[in-house]
Amino acid sequence: MNSPLLTAPGAVAPFEGVPDQGVPWHFGDPFAEQRSAARSVAVFDRSNRAVVAVPGDDRLPWLHSLTSQHFTALGEDEGTEALILDVQGRVQHHVVVANVGGVVYLDMEREQVAELQSYLGKMVFWSKVEPRDATAELAVLTVVGPEIAGLFNKLALPLPDGPHGVVALEGGFARRMTWPGQDAVDLVVPRPDIADWWQKLTDAGARPAGSWAFEALRVESLHPRLGVDTDEKTIPHEVNWIGDAVHLDKGCYRGQETVSKVHNVGRPPRRMLLLHLDGSMEVQPETGDPVLAGDRVVGRVGSVALHHELGTIVLALVKRSITPDTELLVGAEDRRVQASVDPDSVPPDTPGLGREAARNLGR
């Protein structure tokens, strides 16, 4: 399902192997697009995401029983994130949520939707819910930047309140997000109208931006992407999903025992860290490549991004024992590059590995 915005002025389609097929990769200057998102406002075509709609009187308690999130505490016109785990507590699905107009909407990676829809269908039983794939109905655009309020004011659009507020729009909704950056709003709009929405937003001053820029900002914000920054063993504690997508004050869902045990009495075996790559080489690693300390494999490469200020950056799942001063190599043999750990990406609750410990290394 290719976006009609691939034919928009200046749009460059992604080459084979780039994760976000079907939407523009950039509009001629991906670094300027990032700067606009950081300093003014930019709009991103994310219509390659899938959307599942869950209407019905039992939608909140039903989703509460299936996911890691406290859906029964989710108010009308509120959003959140949620996970579906397997019995060992490993992440199977990640969704971004909006509860608006008597329907819960779940948007996710396109590759997830068939499996997720099949699972939800099997779990309906006697509950008053009717989950359906609404991808053909709705598409996601994301607006990022400190000038969002002015943009919405120009267009006479209501701006959602708070970090997870949702407001209804004609045929869709707007949802506040906490990433990628401090000012971000998802616009979930009728798919047939996506080109009209894009035109309105860009005419009002939002810079057209592609998936290259969005991914760079996402990596900078330390937000994982399912299937890229996760593998078949990933548990939520390893990739910053505790709090954002996992509510620790609820139980009775698949995988909850592992979540509780690791949080209360254990430690996750790995942590997602931001790595800065040596920019002297023209090669860069790929998703799934090893992270090495000497000759020892200590992790795997997830997202790789070219950032307008930070250069080449990587999200990597790395063994918990790796300290911020460890000299690392990332990549396969023909694209192996030196890397250093960004100390601010080291979880502060990690004994001996927190940010203060990292700062003290040079003292």
Task: Note whether 39 and 182 are same-domain residues.
Answer: yes
Phi, psi of 148 (to 5 degrees): -60, -45
pLDDT of 353 reads: 45
Task: Note whether 200 and 275 are same-domain residues.
Answer: no
Measuring CA to CA, which residue among 261, 273, 233 is closest to residue 91? 233
Note whether residue 80 is domain-resident.
Answer: no
What percent of the chain is modeled with pLDDT above 90? 85
Do 141 and 43 form a contact (C-beta atoms < 8 A)? yes
Note whether residue 93 is domain-resident.
Answer: no
User: Which CATH number fits the domain that encloses residue 290?
Assistant: 2.40.30.110
Task: Note whether 38 and 151 are same-domain residues.
Answer: yes
Note whether residue 108 is domain-resident.
Answer: no
Beta bridge partners of 51: 107
User: Which CATH number fits the domain that encloses residue 141?
Assistant: 3.30.1360.120
The mean-pLDDT minimum among 138-147, 154-163, 272-281, 309-318 falls in 272-281
Q: In whole angstroms, how far apart are CA 12 and each of 30, 37, 203, 210, 213?
A: 10, 18, 20, 8, 13
Note whether residue 98 is domain-resident.
Answer: no
pLDDT of 323 reads: 87
**pTM (predicted TM-score):** 0.94
Task: Note whether 25 and 155 are same-domain residues.
Answer: yes
Do 126 and 57 form a contact (C-beta atoms < 8 A)? no
Note whether residue 235 is domain-resident.
Answer: no
Q: Is 102 exposed, middle or buried (0-12, 13-18, 19+ CB in 10 A)?
A: exposed
Report strand pairing: 172-177 vs 166-169.
antiparallel
Note whether residue 217 is domain-resident.
Answer: yes
Task: Note whether 202 and 280 are same-domain residues.
Answer: no
pLDDT for 186-232, tens place per residue? 999 999 999 999 999 999 999 999 999 999 999 999 999 999 999 99
pLDDT for 259-293, tens place per residue? 999 998 888 999 999 999 987 667 889 999 999 99
265: CB partners within 8 A, 6+ apart:
none
User: Number of folded domains in the chain?
Assistant: 2
Kindly report the average pLDDT of the chain as a whole number.
93
Where would I find the H helices in 126-203?
A: 148-154, 194-203
Task: Note whether 167 and 279 are same-domain residues.
Answer: no
Task: Note whether 177 and 314 are same-domain residues.
Answer: no
What percent of the chain is modeled with pLDDT above 70? 95
pLDDT for 71-116, tens place per residue? 999 999 999 999 999 999 999 999 999 999 999 999 999 999 999 9
Of 165, 196, 221, the residue at which a domain comes to its end is 221
pLDDT of 281 reads: 67
Structural domain of 152: 4-49+135-221
pLDDT of 352 reads: 46
Measuring CA to CA, which residue among 184, 193, 358 is closest to residue 273? 358
Task: Note whether 197 and 273 are same-domain residues.
Answer: no
Note whether residue 150 is domain-resident.
Answer: yes
Q: How far is CA 311 from the centre of its chain?
A: 20
Phi, psi of 205 (to 5 degrees): 120, -5
Task: Note whether 300 and 193 are same-domain residues.
Answer: no
Task: Note whether 17 and 153 are same-domain residues.
Answer: yes
48: CB partners within 8 A, 6+ apart:
1, 3, 20, 21, 22, 23, 110
Note whether residue 319 is domain-resident.
Answer: yes
